[in-house]
Amino acid sequence: MKVIALYNIKGGVGKTAACVNLAYSCAKCGMKTLLWDLDSQGAASYYFNVKPEVKGGTKKLFKTKAIDELVKETDIEYLDLLPADFSYRHMDLFLDGEKKPKKRMSEFLSRFEDDYDVLFLDCPPSFSLVSENIFNSADVMLVPLIPTTLSLRTYEQILVYVGEHKKLSLQLMPFFSMVDRRKKLHQETTDDIQNSIKGVMRTSIPYLSIIENMGIRRAPVGLFAPNSQASLLFDQLWSEIVIRAKLNSR
């Protein structure tokens, strides 16, 4: 099982949109896919029409061994969801009280190893003990970047953290998100940075209003607009990830 985190310290950069759509692309390839909505606001759960609730909250979640008590099916074949819960906002406090606070999540995730090929993490926008657990759990970290200088500085903070933690074995995969080619700054920054940021994905996700429609349709774009540019680009981004992460597509 590969763990793929959608992470950025910054909020509103397209983490959830990418997580939901890439999980859909992944499931479409026939890979057994689980998405854990780690954000207490529950946006990913909302998109899949699943109630953002875990009975007993964070504490019970980490103690539950039987994963079928936790996982919810979605309307999409091969795609399951571990929903958000409002108590996740205190997950830091919970982890801090555990024996190995920085590795507790990784231990919990090993429970899903036999049942899923890929586990996506839709992460909240912060840097915290939860984030440190994410860094320790992820095989791949996808980082959506809006092409502005300020937004790119947060990526440097991620690079510094990874540089300071040599034992981490995650592959960093930054990609441009919400790119507005009409905005001169976006265009210039994307062109400049495409070469200077190491390992930036070739596929960028433009700013497309159909992605905003996910909130009305409550589904990944590929489900209600399979031939749209957005759907095709998420599939293309997924193909790049498959190759880079050496995932075995079925």
Q: Which residue ranges make up the site for ligand ATP (CB under 6 A)?
A: 11-17, 39, 43, 125, 177-178, 205, 207-208, 211-212, 214-215
Only one of the segments 20-28, 36-44, 181-189, 221-229 lies at the binding site for Mg ion (rule: CB under 5 A); that segment is 36-44
Binding partner selected for residue 211 from Mg ion, ligand ATP, none, CB under the kind-specific 5 to 8 Å limit: ligand ATP
Binding partner selected for residue 205 from Mg ion, ligand ATP, none, CB under the kind-specific 5 to 8 Å limit: ligand ATP
Distance, CA of 86 to chain centre? 18
Q: Which is nearer to ligand ATP, 165 or 217 (CB)?
A: 217
Only one of the segments 9-17, 21-29, 64-72, 156-164 lies at the binding site for Mg ion (rule: CB under 5 A); that segment is 9-17
Matching residue, tokens 């920085």: 102
Distance CA 79, CA 76 (A): 6
Q: In 10 A of CB 247, how many CB atoms?
A: 19
Minimum Å gap between C-beta 238 and ligand ATP is: 15
Q: Which is nearer to ligand ATP, 16 or 33 (CB)?
A: 16
Count of H helices and E strands in the chain?
12, 7
Cβ neighbourhood burial of 10 (10 Å; 0-12, 13-18, 19+):
buried
10-29 residues in contact with Mg ion (CB under 5 A) are 15-16
Residues 88 and 38: beta-carbon distance below 8 Å: yes
DSSP 32-69: -EEEEE--TT-HHHHHTT-----TTHHHHHHH---GGG
Residue 186 amino acid letter:
H
Q: Which is nearer to Mg ion, 125 or 206 (CB)?
A: 125
Minimum Å gap between C-beta 63 and ligand ATP is: 27
Q: Which is nearer to ligand ATP, 32 or 36 (CB)?
A: 36
In 36-177, alpha helices (H): 43-47, 57-63, 91-96, 104-109, 129-137, 149-164
Residue 180 amino acid letter:
D
Minimum Å gap between C-beta 15 and ligand ATP is: 3
Minimum Å gap between C-beta 114 and Mg ion is: 28
Minimum Å gap between C-beta 132 and ligand ATP is: 18
| Interacting residues with Mg ion (CB under 5 A) | 15-16, 43
